[in-house]
Amino acid sequence: MKTDNILVIGGTGKTGRKVAQQLQAMGQNVRIGSRSASPAFDWHNPSTWPAALEGMDKVYVTFQPDLAVPGARDAIEALVRQAKQSKVKKMVLLSGKGEREAELSEQIVINSGLDYTIVRASWFNQNFSENFFLEPILAGYVALPQAEAKIPYVDTDDIADMVVESLTHDQHNGQIYELTGPELLTFPEVIDEIAQATGRAIRFTSISQNEYSQMLEEHNLPKDYVWLINYLFTEVLGNPDIHNVTHDIEKVLGRKPKSFAQYAAETAATGVWQPQVVVSI
């Protein structure tokens, strides 16, 4: 395997840090693309992009907070333009399964003239341990809309493995992969899996979309974050494309994807789902 210079945009995030670690272990030359890196990469400051892209052969692209948000297409278009000027040869883009808005950004990469692989991932397992579902799990009370929506959650370990494979082997050029876990689960089923893995009582309650939106706003979350969550629960969960299990992970990696039960057992062992008890002296 030849050695490449690879920029991992979002190299400290849920998938990016795992991709970077794997590539470094393989002896690839990895540059972390983040605001705290040197050179820095900041999606909100395009003047940082040329230095981050300079000398890079390939780029893994994760857009924050999501390719579906307004402005994402313009940012991807500008990044592709700069990447071509910087003589980048290939992009691997992380996209969202069932996100029609994200597919518009995919087309920019597909039509760029660069080699590419599109990795469309379903909802992450890690949303329950590293993102917006963690706080209510710790509180022991989870209230969500779309209680019966069946989602094929995928693990970020599997996503990272697919991205590394796509970055390091040319046979994946021009491919669009859809990544899911091995089964469909509803929110109550997921919370039950976590409760069993932790030995805790965690209550799930179904609420309306309006009630959920109001709850998010009462927590003074940023408006663009509230918009994204509402989009995911309405447009994405309303898209039938998300409610099916695919087999691209098995086809490419030669093994089955991680189940939610395995993720839950591994994550429970870290203690992240155990509320911290404050002892008064």
Contacts of 36 (CB under 8 A, 6+ apart): 12
Give the residues of the chain that fall short of pLDDT 50. Answer: 278-279
pLDDT of residue 222: 82
Distances in Å between the alpha carbon of 113 and those of 81, 87, 164, 272? 10, 12, 21, 44
Give the max Cα distance, the chain. Answer: 65
Burial grade of 28 (CB within 10 A; 0-12, 13-18, 19 or more)? buried
Alpha carbon of residue 148 to chain centroid: 22
94, 121 Cβ separation under 8 angstroms: yes
Instruction: State the Rg of the chain over Cα.
Output: 19
CB 98 within 8 A of CB 239: yes
pLDDT of 279 reads 47
- Residue 277's pLDDT is 57
Cβ proximity of 114 and 89 under 8 Å: yes
- φ and ψ at 91, to 5 degrees? -125, 140
Of 91, 231, 257, the residue nearest 162 (C-alpha): 257
Domains of the chain: residue spans and CATH: 5-122+155-179+244-255 (3.40.50.720)
Q: Using one digit for the tens of pLDDT, what is the confidence trace for 146-201?
A: 999 999 999 999 999 999 999 999 999 999 999 999 999 999 999 999 999 999 99
pLDDT of residue 281: 54
pLDDT of residue 251: 98
Token pair, residue 103, equals 């597919």
Q: Taking the CB of residue 276, how many other CB atoms lie within 10 A of it?
A: 6
Q: Are 12 and 36 in contact (CB under 8 A)?
A: yes
Query: Is the whole model's pTM more than 0.85, yes or no?
Result: yes
